[in-house]
Structure 1
Amino acid sequence: MAPTDPQNRATPVERAAVRCVDSDVHPMPRRGELLEYLPEPWRSRYFLDRHVGEQIFYDAPDYAHAYAMRTDTFPADGEFAGSDPDLMLKQLIMEAGADIAILEPLAGGARIPEASQASSVATNEWLARHWLDTHDNWHQRWRGSICVTIEDPDGAVAEIEKWAGHPYMAQILIRAEPRPSWGHPRYDPIWAAATKHDITVACHLGRGHFETLPMPPVGLPSYNHDFMVSYSLTAANQVMSLIFDGVFDRFPALRIVFVEHAFTWILPLMWRMDAIYDKRRQWLDIKRKPSDYVKDHIKFTTQPLDYPEDKTELSRAFEWMECEKILLFSSDYPHWTFDDPRWLVKHLPEHAREAVMFKNGIQTYKLPETVPALEGQTRVF
């Protein structure tokens, strides 16, 4: 029996070097699977008796049938894409060549912070029991995210304290949309807990309902295409808040990852912040150039990769932003926007390939440099 056969879950003894860390992978619960982990009274009072209104129209290809997922990622039993650990192992690890996958379950948000935190509590329990346990993580390729509700700092800190010692929890996962911005002192307990446990904080773009939708500066857009572009504006505002409000001076060991917010915009933003800093340094309390904070504290995932018609433009942007310092590979599996690591690596500058594909991931998430070897796995390098 092959060592990757799901019926044979003995961890291989032989080790293989990590050569691809995927920083954006989305597991999903099966139908009804999350309910038992939702704490009361929120399970009965909120999540089982709640009517959801319309969201901004999502015009992903074939959304009506595939829900913006790769059609081949739906398991044979009819469950949702990303709900089958064995299928994900086959497609993402064995066939595409990822060595470690950072799992980012998108915990359902809510208008009430306590209800949103209840969803985070349930998601963490579900992820630990259905993906990170020895049965489904026998190959040691899955690393989880501690989902927390940033609007509820006390609840968020409690979840961080509960899960930070778990051997397969690699990061804390928050949302960028809630107000005020991250530089506000109310969030300091979250940053303090993260640095206390030396664990990275990641932010994945999110959708909400009604006023929990990300709000661009001029108000809500009309359609999904401009809504998707506006995600980068939210991230840019959080970058500025982190830097100019002194978060990295208060917490010099803090690491932040922006997932799926794109990244080419960071180059002109660094130029602009540095220009303001140069002219107004005497009025600012920060100790260093803004671009230095970005390169030392902030990472961005490669998906979505904004690919211009003239590839030389992208190559120059990679060089100017020093991509080897700030980028992490990500595939966005199982979404339709999936970037295969074998495709992505070809578009990186040669000198930056190892840093982006695995070295930055190992450093950012404190990952091992080797994993159990799996017979027949595709290797990106």
Structure 2
Amino acid sequence: MIPSTAQVPVRVVDSDVHPVPRAGAIAEYIPDEWRKFALSHRVGDTINYDAPDYAHAYAMRVDTFPADGGFPGSDPDTMFKQLIIEAGSDIAILEPASKFTRIPEATSAMATATNEWLANHWLDSRNNWHQRWRGSICVAIEDPSGAAREIEKWVGHPYMAQVLIKAEPRPSWGDPKYDPVWEAATRHDITVSCHLSRGNYETMPMPPVGFPSYNHDFMVTYSLLAANQVMSLIFDGVFDRFPSLRIVLVEHAFTWILPLMWRMDAIYAARRSFTGLKRKPSEYVKEHIKFTTQPLDYPEDKTELTRALEWMEAEKILLFSSDYPHWTFDDPKWLLKHLPEHAREAVMFKNGLSTYKLPSTVPAVESQTRVW
């Protein structure tokens, strides 16, 4: 199809949407030396997940299964109808789940395949005729030189909007070994986003006291993992070495950043001469780091959420996200109502436009729900 010549203003930027390859679609893109390895490891073998209704709907919205029998997120037309036309998102940041292994080179190979698949099956002129999809350059951060090469390969693509990494690999991001990733991203002025992953074996986000007993407490560790990466980025001087670096933490929740900023600032005040930092830690957070709104911590007393959003200056650090097609999907019309009025435009679209360097208008599409 041909995009409309009429333009509409972008009013919803969705920072977390999950496309999924159709069965067998990604195999042809896996580099030859890693194809047998990748295809012999079944997806889901090491996933620690027991979300509600998992056995029936695999933790997806039950209405997102395409008519052709594919998996939710595998059909661009179904996603376009439900996310753009019905929910009203104007631009969606696509974040495919690139396979995570214990071998950096294998993870890097799967990232390469995922990028080729995404470019050819979602960002091509047939599936992105409406210009609403923006892709992620998937990289294996545990292979920094390979990650930098992949950034160089794809950064010129007109619809690649960010670099996508995982938080599980060790050591933490402040280690200089990762500097090639930050250097490539800042040189090309592209944001680096981190979506939570489940890891494998020793790369799973294990608390200091060992693995938790149940999935519901295991899930909380993702926020702890993100908190440690935030501290490493700041106290290990990454933002001083790369002052234009932009980081987005996706699906790690966000209300925890408020007490963490307070605590880091207190330590900084007491030990400033030992830290080597040029500014308070909270200032680095507000300038360099963004968080997606889903999952939204939702206390029984909504005024508590409002106060937290105001104290953390949500208009500076939050990006709207729906998490489509998962069962935790947040409709933009619903989320809008829970934001302080003064922060709504920033969170729903302005922060997304600036973070991902997006256009302020997109081609109009017939019958699209307008959230604003």
Q: Same fold (TM over 0.5)?
A: yes
Alignment of 1:224-263 (within 5 A): 224-263=215-254
Q: Which moved more, 1:205-214 or 1:109-118?
A: 205-214
Q: TM-score, normalised by structure 2?
A: 0.98
CA deviations over 1:320-372 (Å, ceiling 9, x no partner): 00000000000000000000000000000000000000000000000000000
Partner of 1:209: 200
2:25 counterpart residue number: 33
Could you tell me which of 276, 280, 283 is aligned with 2:271? Answer: 280
Let me know the Cα RMSD of the aligned residues: 1.0
* Residue 24 (structure 1) aligns with: 16
Deviation at 1:57, TM superposition (A): 4.3
Deviations 1:99-118 (A, max 9, x none): 00000001010111100000
Tell me how far apart the structure 2 counterparts of residues 203 and 336 of structure 1 sit (CA, whole Å). Answer: 20
Determine if the alignment matches structure 1 residue 291 to structure 2 residue 311.
Answer: no
1:336 equivalenced with 2:292 (yes/no): no
1:169 and 2:169 are equivalent in the alignment: no
1:223, distance to aligned residue in structure 2 (A) = 1.3
Q: Which residue of 1 aligns with 2:294?
A: 303
Q: How big is each residue's C-alpha offset from its partner over 1:280-329, in whole Å with a ceiling of 9 and x where there is no partner?
A: 00111110000000000000000000100011110000010000000000
Shift of 1:51: 6.1
Q: Post-superposition shift, 1:217?
A: 2.2
User: Does the residue aligned with 1:218 lie in a helix, a strand or coil?
Assistant: coil
Question: Offset of 1:52 from its aligned partner?
Answer: 7.3
Answer yes or no: is 1:87 the counterpart of 2:87: no
Q: 1:354 aligns with which of 345, 348, 366?
A: 345
Q: Given the alignment of the two structures, is residue 195 of structure 1 paired with residue 186 of structure 2, yes or no?
A: yes
Conserved in 1, the CA contact under 8 Å of 2:249 and 2:292?
yes
Q: After the TM superposition, which of the residue ranges 209-218 and 173-182 deviates more from structure 2?
A: 209-218
Runs of 5+ in structure 2 lacking a partner?
none
In 2, are the aligned partners of 1:263 and 1:302 still within 8 Å (CA)?
yes
Structure 2 distance, partners of 1:52, 1:323, is: 36
1:133 to 1:261, Cα distance in 2 relative to 1, 3 A: same
Q: Is the 8 A contact 1:30 1:83 kept in 2?
A: yes
Q: Is the 8 A contact 1:56 1:223 kept in 2?
A: no
Q: Is the 8 A contact 2:48 2:198 kept in 1?
A: no
Partners of 1:217 and 1:325 lie apart in 2 by 32
Letter in 1 for 2:18: H
Q: Which of 261, 266, 269 matches 1:270?
A: 261
How far did 1:76 drift?
0.8
Corresponding residue number in structure 2 for 1:5: none
Helix, strand or coil: the match of 1:41?
A: helix
SS in 2 for 1:11: coil
- Give structure 1 regions of 4+ aligned residues with deviation exceeding 4 angstroms: 51-54
2:96 — aligned with what?
105
Alpha-carbon distance, 1:58 to partner: 1.9
Asked if the contact 1:315/1:348 (under 8 Å) is kept, the reply is yes
Q: Is residue 316 of structure 1 aligned with residue 307 of structure 2?
A: yes
* Aligned counterparts of 1:231 and 1:220: Cα–Cα separation in 2: 13
1:36-84 deviations in Å (ceiling 9; x for gaps)? 000021002x113336785464221110121100011110111110000
CA contact (8 A) 1:177 1:215 kept: no
Q: Any conservation in 2 of the 1:177–1:213 contact (CA below 8 Å)?
A: yes
Distance 1:56 1:159 in 2: 26
Select the residue among 3, 15, 40 that pairs with 2:7: 15
- Tell whether 2:150 aligns with 1:126: no
Preserved contact between residue 273 and residue 290 of structure 1 (Cα < 8 Å)? yes
Aligned-residue offset at 1:215: 1.9
Unaligned runs of 5+ in 1: 1-8
Match of 1:59 among 50, 64, 73: 50
Residues 1:57 and 1:151: Cα distance change in structure 2 (over 3 Å): closer
